[in-house]
A = this chain, B = another copy of it.
Amino acid sequence: MNVKRSRLQKYEDRSSFFGMGRKGDETRGRLLDATQDLIESGGYYGAGLNQVIAASGMPRGSLYFHFPGGKDAMVAEALRRAGREIGQAVGDLAGSAPDAAALVTGVLGLLGDRLEASGWRKGCPVATVALEMAATDDPLQEVCAEVYDSWDGALRDRLAADGHPDPDDLATTVLALVEGALLLARAHRSRDPLDRVARKITAFLAL
């Protein structure tokens, strides 16, 4: 025990690679967690910094240490991270889905579970911010567009691989359908819209 360790060894004790594992990255992560949760639930304005620091348990000063760009910088990173998480979850599902229809119904089921389990708080993590910022020149607007683009692209690739005609049109249509169903489900606090769309989507994708 108590073997002498080089700086590199100590460094790797707490991380797999660069950037992670330092003391403050825990704080940073918690701030992002809280931000992600709050903006998904209530949008950009619904996620006040006071709520973020209360939910994360981190002090105000740490926020501006880790995100010198302030709220917008933190929200931007939270949005990108949320986009990656959803993208990954869908990607995992895509691996086991035999066809596009099964993938989409699987995604709808997954999102429905997530939505219901969260008390109708967690729908699409970027939708609210995207709408709030659509008419502004805030850089967050572009961040949201990029997240949607990443989803659209992944979906299009899968549809093309499955041999669907017009994969571009179809991918955007399916994405719109899922986003719209999530919106209605949140508005009604019910997964009915998701279920209804799921029942129809199979016929649609068989076209």
Interface of A toward B, CB cutoff 8 Å: 41-46, 119-121, 123, 127-128, 130-132, 134-136, 141, 144-145, 148-149, 166, 168-170, 172-173, 175-181, 183-184, 186-189, 192-193, 196-197, 199-201, 203-204, 207
Contacts and interface: CB of A to CB of B under 8 A. Distances in A.
B180 A176 contact: yes
B186 A134 contact: yes
Given A169-B196, A179-B180, A186 B131 contact: yes
A41 B134 CA distance: 8
A179 B184 contact: yes
Contacts of A136: 42
A123 B134 contact: yes
Given A178-B180, A180-B180, A184-B148, A46 B173 contact: no
A45 to B, nearest CB: 3
A43 B131 contact: yes
A43 B45 contact: yes
Given A46-B45, A176-B193, A193-B172, A121 B145 contact: no
Nearest to A134: B186
A135 to B, nearest CB: 4
